[in-house]
Amino acid sequence: MKLKNKIAVVTGASRGLGRAIAKRFAEEGASVCLCARNGDLLRTVSLEIMSRGGKTMFERTDITDENQVKEFVTACTSMWSRIDILVNNAGVLGSRSVLAEYALAEWQKVMAVNVTGVFLMTKHLLPHFNPGGSIINVSSSVGKVAKAGWGAYAVSKFALEGMTRLLAEEVRSQNIRVNSINPGGVATEMRHQAFPQEDQNSLRKPEEILDPFVFLASDESKGVTGQSFDAQHFKIK
């Protein structure tokens, strides 16, 4: 129960990695606020959490829409007044093509979720954070080392790495830490979209790579900020 009495927000909790993070955080004792666009899937995740005795709430939210983000933040804080943990997990892949051929509309869609959505959720939750809180941004290996053909997704994750370091400096004095985690390849819909030929049985499941998320969310990571972690090669820095 490393997250006992903590209140956590997880974006993109309807499936994949976000669903696994939400369930694990609830098992570790956190109350979890969930958002994504698919309300039916969110309800299922929420029922799974409650059936194991966890505390949760969810609200259908498109993180690219500032009004929806504000409504979600109001819903979370009217239930649990203060927030301890934010996992900015929601993301989209977009098309896998080189920048020279990248369509503007696709670029804008990816940036809206992976960069602007993270900014909006962070901005509106920050005033409700408890000192000692933790923000975890879900990054990617292609946001750290350039890999041709990953288009707007790669650029968005480089931006997220930058946002992580910038925000870490800005909220250090409020005793809030901000770090990023690259999950590495895990068996989810997004991974299948990126590598349709791949046998997903050869990959780790989201549930198998969650220890660094719990570490960064918990008081064990006190003082750790502005860092970038690899979930599949996790070492305490």
Q: For residue 134, which of 194, 86, 195, 170 has the smallest C-alpha distance?
A: 86
Tokens of 112: 């809206």
For the CB of residue 114, give the shortest distance to ligand NAP in the complex, in Å.
Answer: 7
Binding residue (CB under 6 A) for ligand NAP from 140, 179, 180, 221: 140
3-state secondary structure (DSSP) of residue 165? helix
For the CB of residue 150, give the shortest distance to ligand NAP in the complex, in Å.
Answer: 11
Q: Which segments of 14-95 does DSSP mark as H helices, in order?
A: 16-27, 39-51, 66-80
Within residues 179-208, the interface with ligand NAP by CB under 6 A covers 183, 185-186, 188-191
Q: Which is nearer to ligand NAP, 14 or 31 (CB)?
A: 14
Q: For residue 58, which of 77, 75, 70, 82 has the smallest C-alpha distance?
A: 75
For tokens 């997250």, name the residue.
3
Is 153 in the active site?
Answer: yes
The Cα 237–Cα 103 span in angstroms is 39
For the CB of residue 181, give the shortest distance to ligand NAP in the complex, in Å.
Answer: 9
Residue 224 and residue 177 in contact, taking contact as beta carbons nearer than 8 Å: yes
Residue 87 and residue 35 in contact, taking contact as beta carbons nearer than 8 Å: no
3-state SS string over 117-132? HHHHHHHHHHHHEEEE
**With CB under 6 A as the contact rule, which of the stretches 83-91, 168-176, 211-219, 221-229 interacts with ligand NAP?**
83-91
**Could you say which of 58, 72, 150, 153 is catalytic?**
153
Within residues 52-71, the interface with ligand NAP by CB under 6 A covers 61-64
User: Taking CA 76 as the corner, what is the angle to CA 72 and CA 82, rounded to the nearest 5 degrees?
Assistant: 135
For the CB of residue 211, give the shortest distance to ligand NAP in the complex, in Å.
Answer: 16
Tokens of 81: 């007044």
3-state secondary structure (DSSP) of residue 29? coil
Binding residues for ligand NAP, total number by CB under 6 A: 30
**Does residue 113 bind ligand NAP (CB under 6 A)?**
yes
Q: Which is nearer to ligand NAP, 12 or 133 (CB)?
A: 12
**Does residue 118 bind ligand NAP (CB under 6 A)?**
no
Binding residue (CB under 6 A) for ligand NAP from 6, 14, 73, 151: 14
**Does residue 17 bind ligand NAP (CB under 6 A)?**
yes
Contact residues: ligand NAP, CB under 6 A? 11-12, 14-18, 36-38, 41, 61-64, 89-92, 113, 117, 138, 140, 183, 185-186, 188-191
**Which amino acids are annotated catalytic?**
153
